[in-house]
A and B are shown apart, each in its own frame.
Chain A
């Protein structure tokens, strides 16, 4: 008896909940098919818009100030050396200078540190007018070969740097072939500054894109040398300069990380840069720069962000004021049906 009673009552409850669910669902379907689902209908009213403008403007200006401050606190030294490092007699024909292997490409320069630079100090090289995003260039690589080495024979995308005298090249393609080969070393007084050149490439690239078992083969053996050579005994995953270079830049003016100085540099320190100006940018009037920069939470030195935030913020507040004036001087009653066009037409005519 008890069992029966319980089971029947539970059945009743079940049926109830089912019918409730069904009725809810049918109500939903009805609302849906009759297009009368509950909805929120925001109307942009002048007070709402004006206050949104004010608030957004007021948020933007402090963000901009903080960003600008951060950007300004970055100490950045940019040294363009592509012109200076060419010896005087070759200034008129730089191309001859860079092509002539017999001339020493060594070049030194003293740089004065304007402000205290906190470690780590990033060393970049910057190239201008260098279309690393050129379609012809971007396509000239073989990702599978980079990861798996010679197991992949098809390197046609790398042509004309796919093979040399019938032997395949690893890494193939124009990008690898044109690897940047200027080198920098720094010293403060007589003490060399240690440059850490590890961990300059993305970890993911090193681990997943470049093979640990892949060694350079037949690289830079052709008639035409495009750039740096690679040590055939080091696997590609450890050739960080190559990995950095192979991550082609988005824009024709770009920087690439060269290494880090892990010591603080004090204001008015003089450091001497000793560089080998090997890379040929003279054939296309590109420039080369050496950049030393500290970093903040916002990255490098770039005032644009802060200025953009501040200017947008101020213009928002200005526009909000204009709207406010317009609204106060010439208010339009909101939702007044007598303003509907057909209601006032007869009067005007």
Chain B
């Protein structure tokens, strides 16, 4: 499928296939009410045509000459039947005619007004200043118009992590070097760093592309070469600058004398570390396979890269062996804390002195949500180095199992390390993300984070974004085979039950499921899916890490297949496209990772936190407005049709309409449409502040409270009774009087219009002057239209204008007044009843 916004180029012809048509269209997927209405319509028509048949048969003998039927035609030479084809055909014709007369029942106008309302709602969402991203200067975008109201019913949010929850900007935050915590949050200044964070090469100043906030204390210390502390720090930064796989690129800048260095590499963490090192004056300038050039505080040094052990997920560390200009050889290792502390040298005293405080610092870093790395180093003796070199070369040349051999060698050499320190890198969360997630969770929305990152990262982000809390019971599933997957799923379900039954402590303990991509391989598309779904639906938080883009879609499908709940996927990158397309509502973050996500999405916005106003405020409003509008449309059309129907019962079942054809046509166009649309766009049941204060109010949409089968039938019942009131009160009042068809029809028309508009007025939550104008304007417009229709000689009907001046029609004025009053009052009664029922049910 070619996404919207894509361009086809270099092609002469394209073959298109229409998808999502027929039964798969939105209208058909959403149409149980339409079917009910059709049944209702067919029932009405059947009643009419059967009654007509009965009437015909009963009056069979009279029809020939009866004045108002006159079957026989005497005008020709022979007596023949005039427009009479046997009672069977007559019934059939009546059926067809009744379909035409009652077709107002199927609200075609509803779709038009729904579209208009959606455009209006989209307009307000786009215009909302609270969803305006100042950083990128971009407004909210509505790319799909037909799912506004789904925003009010979301139950699952699937979120990408990188670029969605986080800004995808790693930033070096703090370091613990030699057991001392240098938290540059304390005294940071960018100015201090600038003079050193540039280097002269051939008269051109090189400067890293991004500068990092610098701790002046640390910077000053790093300049002192004599003290132990200074050495330590220099070693640390040298490790940061060298122990990586970053490739520096020089790019031109606007100033020809200054060139910028951009560091490119696989891992954003490494980038952040190298930028940090550069800011402290350890600027990586050149890297080839054989050597590295580092500008150390203005002084160029060249190191030979003797060997490198790349990162792998078992060791969870990488190392580099450098030959120094003074012919010493040093090993620098960088890795996750869990793997690093095992390979440190525990025997030396200094090392032990450092380890303890470093561990404490690491703990505090990670609880802040920082990504931590531990850096260690060791000077290699010549013999050690030679031993390593020979085995390294032979391993490199091995044909079979090279990576295993290399790993073994790496493990051998990476031991007895002296701890240099640890770094804390902030994967910067977007503004307001923790609060947003908190609100979403309070609103009863389940937030699932699907990320391609590794588990540790995902978990730490989970903590920093308040997705995970310390009170939660964590269920972790990491498996490499189907059987073990099955087992751990069963175990997890057991734990789940225990926790929910309150066996293991607190009543409110929540569950968090953490599952990785390799386990998902065995779960998705197998019979284990069912178990995972069961488990996941019990958990409050689900974190999926190391998932492939297609798995993201698979997880969304897992939920969509099994529930009717609305799902929302939010992401920013190309890897989220499949997920965004699969979910009911797809949201693209117009961030840094290209435009694919936005292209595939239904809505696009600048920041994750806009999800809160979007769902809790606009979603709630849209849902409430749209569902009210649909119900009201059914109501208003049904009242009208029922009045036509009741009248048919008094015309020998022949589908005479007292209400003129013009009025029937204008009914849903002029008389009643504008208030509906205005209400659909403008009405608010609760203010923005209230909705944000009580996110739980969002539950109304999730539970389908504003639009469900029960409400639908209540509305239909309401319709029945109101139409009976409006129809029969004038009927009884005018029974056996000299009222003519069109007068009574006009009375009914006006009565219906006033009734439905007043009904709308009473259901309104907020009266803007626009609403006033629409409602009262419609009623006035109706009066005018009815008069014009009757006054124009070429339109069917008679001069209604004179009705009021003519004597017997005093009744009419009184009747109108009376009927409006009584239908309105009856409406009030109903509202009041429901209002009083609420507290009672709550108390029970």
- Give how many A-B residue pairs fall within 8 Å (CB-CB): 224
Tell me whether B835 is interfacial, beta carbon within 8 Å. yes
Q: Are B768 and A34 in contact (CB under 8 A)?
A: no
Contact stretch, chosen from A83-91, A248-256, A264-272: A248-256
Tell me whether A92 is interfacial, beta carbon within 8 Å. no
Residues of B within 8 A of A52 (CB): 828
Residues of B within 8 A of A205 (CB): 798-799
Q: Are B733 and A41 in contact (CB under 8 A)?
A: no
Contact stretch, chosen from B63-71, B388-396, B562-570: B63-71
Q: Are B766 and A136 in contact (CB under 8 A)?
A: no
Q: Are B736 and A253 in contact (CB under 8 A)?
A: yes
Tell me whether A304 is interfacial, beta carbon within 8 Å. yes
Q: Are B802 and A203 in contact (CB under 8 A)?
A: yes
Over the window 32-64 of chain A, the binary record of Cβ atoms lying under 8 Å from chain B Cβ atoms (1 yes, 0 no) is: 011111111110101001001100100010010
Minimum distance in angstroms from A119 CB to a CB of chain B = 14
Instruction: Choose from A40, A202, A330 the contact partner of B839 (Cβ within 8 Å).
Output: A330
Tell me whether B204 is interfacial, beta carbon within 8 Å. no
How far, in angstroms, from A309 to B809 measured CA to CA in the complex? 19
Minimum distance in angstroms from A332 CB to a CB of chain B = 4
- A285's nearest neighbour on chain B, judged by CB, is B62
Tell me whether B28 is interfacial, beta carbon within 8 Å. no
Among B650, B740, B768, the one with the most A-chain Cβ atoms within 10 Å of its Cβ is B740
Instruction: Choose from B75, B738, B821 the contact partner of A160 (Cβ within 8 Å).
Output: B75
Known interface pairs A44-B831, A223-B74, A227-B67. Does A124 touch B738 (Cβ–Cβ under 8 Å)? yes
Minimum distance in angstroms from A200 CB to a CB of chain B = 10
Instruction: Choose from B740, B802, B832 the contact partner of A204 (Cβ within 8 Å).
Output: B802
Q: Are A40 and B67 in contact (CB under 8 A)?
A: no
Known interface pairs A34-B127, A250-B734, A251-B731. Does A39 touch B836 (Cβ–Cβ under 8 Å)? no
Tell me whether B539 is interfacial, beta carbon within 8 Å. no
Tell me whether B186 is interfacial, beta carbon within 8 Å. no
Over the window 735-770 of chain B, the binary record of Cβ atoms lying under 8 Å from chain A Cβ atoms (1 yes, 0 no) is: 111111101110000000000000000000111111
How far, in angstroms, from A60 to B821 measured CA to CA in the complex? 9
Tell me whether A305 is interfacial, beta carbon within 8 Å. yes
Tell me whether A135 is interfacial, beta carbon within 8 Å. yes
Q: Are B650 and A160 in contact (CB under 8 A)?
A: no
Q: Are A163 and B62 in contact (CB under 8 A)?
A: no
Q: Are B651 and A134 in contact (CB under 8 A)?
A: yes
Q: Are A134 and B652 in contact (CB under 8 A)?
A: yes
Over the window 186-216 of chain B, the binary record of Cβ atoms lying under 8 Å from chain A Cβ atoms (1 yes, 0 no) is: 0000000000000000000000000000000
Known interface pairs A134-B69, A136-B83. Does A35 touch B74 (Cβ–Cβ under 8 Å)? no
Minimum distance in angstroms from B772 CB to a CB of chain A = 9
How far, in angstroms, from A3 to B766 measured CA to CA in the complex? 52
How far, in angstroms, from A342 to B128 measured CA to CA in the complex? 29
Q: Are A299 and B811 in contact (CB under 8 A)?
A: yes
Residues of A within 8 A of B739 (CB): 249-251, 254
Tell me whether A226 is interfacial, beta carbon within 8 Å. yes
Residues of A within 8 A of B124 (CB): 33, 35
Over the window 811-826 of chain B, the binary record of Cβ atoms lying under 8 Å from chain A Cβ atoms (1 yes, 0 no) is: 1001100100110010
How far, in angstroms, from A300 to B129 measured CA to CA in the complex? 63
Known interface pairs A133-B656, A305-B814. Does A49 touch B735 (Cβ–Cβ under 8 Å)? no
Tell me whether A20 is interfacial, beta carbon within 8 Å. no
Instruction: Choose from A174, A302, A312 the contact partner of B70 (Cβ within 8 Å).
Output: A174
Tell me whether A339 is interfacial, beta carbon within 8 Å. yes
Q: Are B655 and A135 in contact (CB under 8 A)?
A: yes
- B63's nearest neighbour on chain A, judged by CB, is A284
- B130's nearest neighbour on chain A, judged by CB, is A34
> How big is the B interface, by class?
35 or more
Residues of A within 8 A of B636 (CB): none
- B836's nearest neighbour on chain A, judged by CB, is A326
Q: Are A247 and B832 in contact (CB under 8 A)?
A: no
Instruction: Choose from A39, A224, A319 the contact partner of B767 (Cβ within 8 Å).
Output: A39
Tell me whether A121 is interfacial, beta carbon within 8 Å. no
Minimum distance in angstroms from B621 CB to a CB of chain A = 8
- B808's nearest neighbour on chain A, judged by CB, is A299
Known interface pairs A178-B67, A202-B802, A257-B738. Does A312 touch B811 (Cβ–Cβ under 8 Å)? no
Known interface pairs A133-B650, A248-B741, A304-B733. Does A208 touch B810 (Cβ–Cβ under 8 Å)? no
Q: Are A252 and B650 in contact (CB under 8 A)?
A: yes
Residues of B within 8 A of A339 (CB): 839, 842
List CB contacts (< 8 Å) of A123-152 with chain B. 124, 126, 130-138, 147
How far, in angstroms, from A295 to B811 measured CA to CA in the complex? 11
How far, in angstroms, from A63 to B768 measured CA to CA in the complex? 33
Tell me whether B161 is interfacial, beta carbon within 8 Å. no
Q: Are B832 and A298 in contact (CB under 8 A)?
A: no
Over the window 86-101 of chain A, the binary record of Cβ atoms lying under 8 Å from chain B Cβ atoms (1 yes, 0 no) is: 0000000000000000
Tell me whether A7 is interfacial, beta carbon within 8 Å. no
Known interface pairs A126-B736, A257-B738. Does A163 touch B75 (Cβ–Cβ under 8 Å)? yes
How far, in angstroms, from A205 to B802 measured CA to CA in the complex? 10
List CB contacts (< 8 Å) of A197-241 with chain B. 202-205, 208-209, 222-224, 226-227
How far, in angstroms, from A126 to B825 measured CA to CA in the complex? 35
- A333's nearest neighbour on chain B, judged by CB, is B839
How far, in angstroms, from A290 to B650 measured CA to CA in the complex? 23
Q: Are B682 and A305 in contact (CB under 8 A)?
A: no
Q: Are A340 and B696 in contact (CB under 8 A)?
A: yes
- A124's nearest neighbour on chain B, judged by CB, is B738
How far, in angstroms, from A312 to B128 measured CA to CA in the complex? 48
How far, in angstroms, from A134 to B658 measured CA to CA in the complex? 11
Instruction: Choose from B741, B744, B766 the contact partner of A138 (Cβ within 8 Å).
Output: B741
Known interface pairs A299-B811, A312-B825, A339-B842. Does A133 touch B738 (Cβ–Cβ under 8 Å)? no
Q: Are B74 and A250 in contact (CB under 8 A)?
A: no
Residues of B within 8 A of A308 (CB): 729, 733, 818, 822
Residues of B within 8 A of A178 (CB): 67-68
Residues of A within 8 A of B256 (CB): none
Among A33, A164, A344, the one with the most B-chain Cβ atoms within 10 Å of its Cβ is A33
Residues of B within 8 A of A300 (CB): 737, 808, 811
Tell me whether A82 is interfacial, beta carbon within 8 Å. no
Residues of B within 8 A of A161 (CB): 70, 75
Tell me whether A280 is interfacial, beta carbon within 8 Å. yes
Residues of B within 8 A of A163 (CB): 75
Known interface pairs A136-B69, A138-B741. Does A202 touch B736 (Cβ–Cβ under 8 Å)? no
Tell me whether A67 is interfacial, beta carbon within 8 Å. yes
Residues of A within 8 A of B793 (CB): 147, 208
Q: Are A56 and B825 in contact (CB under 8 A)?
A: yes
How far, in angstroms, from A314 to B822 measured CA to CA in the complex? 12
Q: Are A254 and B832 in contact (CB under 8 A)?
A: no
Q: Are A160 and B73 in contact (CB under 8 A)?
A: yes
Residues of A within 8 A of B68 (CB): 130-132, 134, 136-137, 174, 178
Minimum distance in angstroms from B816 CB to a CB of chain A = 12
Known interface pairs A67-B814, A135-B655, A178-B68. Does A53 touch B799 (Cβ–Cβ under 8 Å)? no
Q: Are A319 and B66 in contact (CB under 8 A)?
A: no
Minimum distance in angstroms from B798 CB to a CB of chain A = 7
Q: Are A298 and B811 in contact (CB under 8 A)?
A: yes
How far, in angstroms, from A284 to B59 measured CA to CA in the complex? 8
How far, in angstroms, from A308 to B823 measured CA to CA in the complex? 12
List CB contacts (< 8 Å) of A297-325 with chain B. 297-300, 302, 304-305, 308-309, 312, 316, 319, 323
Q: Are A204 and B799 in contact (CB under 8 A)?
A: yes
Among B128, B621, B743, B836, the one with the most A-chain Cβ atoms within 10 Å of its Cβ is B836
Q: Are B66 and A283 in contact (CB under 8 A)?
A: yes
Minimum distance in angstroms from A306 CB to a CB of chain B = 10
Q: Are A137 and B69 in contact (CB under 8 A)?
A: yes
Q: Are B62 and A254 in contact (CB under 8 A)?
A: no
How far, in angstroms, from A121 to B63 measured CA to CA in the complex? 37
8 more CB-based (< 8 A) A-B contacts, given A137-B67, A251-B731, A298-B810:
A39-B766, A49-B832, A130-B67, A160-B70, A177-B67, A202-B799, A319-B832, A332-B839
Subset of 7 A-B contacts with CB under 8 Å? A49-B828, A53-B825, A134-B651, A137-B69, A160-B73, A295-B807, A340-B694
Q: Which 6 A-B pairs have the closest CB atoms?
A: A178-B67, A33-B127, A135-B654, A160-B73, A299-B811, A250-B744
